[in-house]
Amino acid sequence: MKLINLLRDLVEIDSESGKEDEIVDYVTEFLEDLGYSPKVEEKKVKNVVLEGKGDLWLITHLDTTRKLTGFSFDGVYCYGTGVCDAKASVAAILSAIEESEEFVLNVAFLSDEEEGGRGSEHFARRRKGRAIIMEPTELKVAEAQYGSAEITVNVKGKPSHGAFPDFGVSAIEKAYELYEKIKNIWRGFSIQEIRGGDSSYSIPEECFIRFAFVFPPEVSSSDILEKVLKIAENYGEVEVVEFWDGFYCDEIVELAKIVEERTVMKSWTDAANLKAEGWKVTVWGPGELEYCHTKYERVKVAEVEKAKEVIGRMNEFILSSF
53 to 31, 296, 319: CA distances (angstroms): 17, 38, 8
> Residue 1: its pLDDT value, please?
83
Task: Give, in words, the CATH class of 147-244.
Answer: alpha beta
Predicted model pTM = 0.95
Domain ranges of the chain: 2-144+247-320, 147-244
Residue spans of beta strands (DSSP E) within the chain: 39-43, 45-50, 56-61, 72-73, 77-79, 106-110, 130-133, 141-145, 147-156, 160-161, 189-196, 202-203, 206-215, 236-244, 247-248, 262-265, 280-283, 298-300
Instruction: Specify the pLDDT at position 43.
Output: 86
pLDDT at 216: 98
CATH 3.30.499.10 assigned to 2-144+247-320: no
For position 128, what pLDDT does the model report?
95
* Model pLDDT, residue 150: 98
**Mean pLDDT per segment of 10 residues, for the chain of length 322 residues?**
96 98 99 98 95 98 98 98 99 99 98 97 97 99 98 98 97 98 95 98 98 98 97 98 98 97 98 98 99 98 99 96 84
pLDDT of residue 296: 98
